[in-house]
Amino acid sequence: MKVAIYQTSPILLDLKSNLEDVIAKIRQGREKGAQLIVFPELALTGYFFGQRYHEVALRLDSKEIKQLVSATEGTAAVVGFIEESPSMNFYNSALVMVDGNILFTYRKLNLPNYGVFEERKYFAPGKQIPVFRLHDLNIAVFICNDLWHPSLPYLGVVQKADVFVTIFNSSQGSMGTEFSNIESWTIINTFYSRIFGIYNICANRVGEESFRERRAASGIEADQTKSEEDSPVLCETTTYRFWGGSEIINPFGHPIAKADLYKQDEIFGEISRDLLRQKKILLPYLRNDDPYFTYRELQRILHDKSRVDIP
């Protein structure tokens, strides 16, 4: 199966332009023979949207989604966007489309809410990790912080996932000066491929966006009902640069293709069932894995009243 990653630079809150760009790239990828085309997290909106998130949210029955889905005829695509459910919940989602049809939306489960990350303020968490089948391969989708919680990738593998599609928005400096996002994502992406013996299709974005942080002055909490001029708050704006570096990694943890840093790019790679089989024969890490044991231990840990928790 031929796969493609389009490493885009979405314009913040410009749904129309971003949608047009994604649709054009899906068509380009299909013309180049890609059978699965992957875009970054929140590719239709940008990341630091703040309290305007609802302005660029899309329902699955919206005309924009219908246009996007129609563009996938003859191929498949995964696109990050803000989803609004019929009950008016909002999700950081990945739309999974195959040959002009919606299969499902994967909704991000682990929503960060620290530092510059405010997703839990705006979004509801997902409830499931679905796995879908495409060209005789089982594929699981994850969004950014989900991969920082090893239990979630494990749930994909328990469902016999052969391929991870990992979409994220990672920028320099967003985790502080003592932490390298580029180094950490390289380790994480390779780790899961090598340990689980899966292909990992990892799509990050590029471009710059500014985050405006409001802090209470002199330790006084800001009054959200007042304007910035009337409230005792300090506002600090910081611009973050998304670094790209999207990559396709094989089951041995080796990169098949890697995108440039800091600029828009497209990469392609071939996924082979033969290589998956070879890894399982040579390094059968999961052959004796027993999810029922994991389930029993979780039941014991969560419900054993005699267990003493260490403070």
Report yes or no: 50 and 212 within 8 Å, Cβ to Cβ: yes
User: What is the rounded distance in angstroms from the CA atom of residue 173 to the CA atom of residue 179?
Assistant: 8
List 144, 202, 266, 279, catalytic entry:
144
Please tell me the total number of residues recorded for the chain in this structure: 311
List 25, 41, 118, 202, catalytic entry:
41
Catalytic residue check, 202: no
According to the 3-state scheme, what is the secondary structure of the chain?
Answer: CEEEEEECCCCCCCHHHHHHHHHHHHHHHHHCCCCEEECCCCCCCCCCCHHHHHHHCECCCCHHHHHHHHCCCCCEEEEEEEEECCCCCEEEEEEEEECCEEEEEEECCCCCCCCCCCHHHHCCCCCCCCEEEECCEEEEEEEHHHHHCCHHHHHHHHCCCCEEEEECCCECCCCCCCCCHHHHHHHHHHHHHHHHCCEEEEECCEEEEEEEEEEEHHHCCCCCCCCCCCCCEEEEEEEEEEEECCEEECCCCCEEEECCECCCEEEEEECCHHHHHHHHHHCCCCCCCCHHHHHHHHHHHHHCCCCCCCC
Catalytic residue check, 83: no
List 108, 202, 209, 279, catalytic entry:
108
Catalytic residue check, 144: yes
- Of 234, 245, 135, nearest to 190 by C-alpha is 245
Active site residues: 41, 108, 144
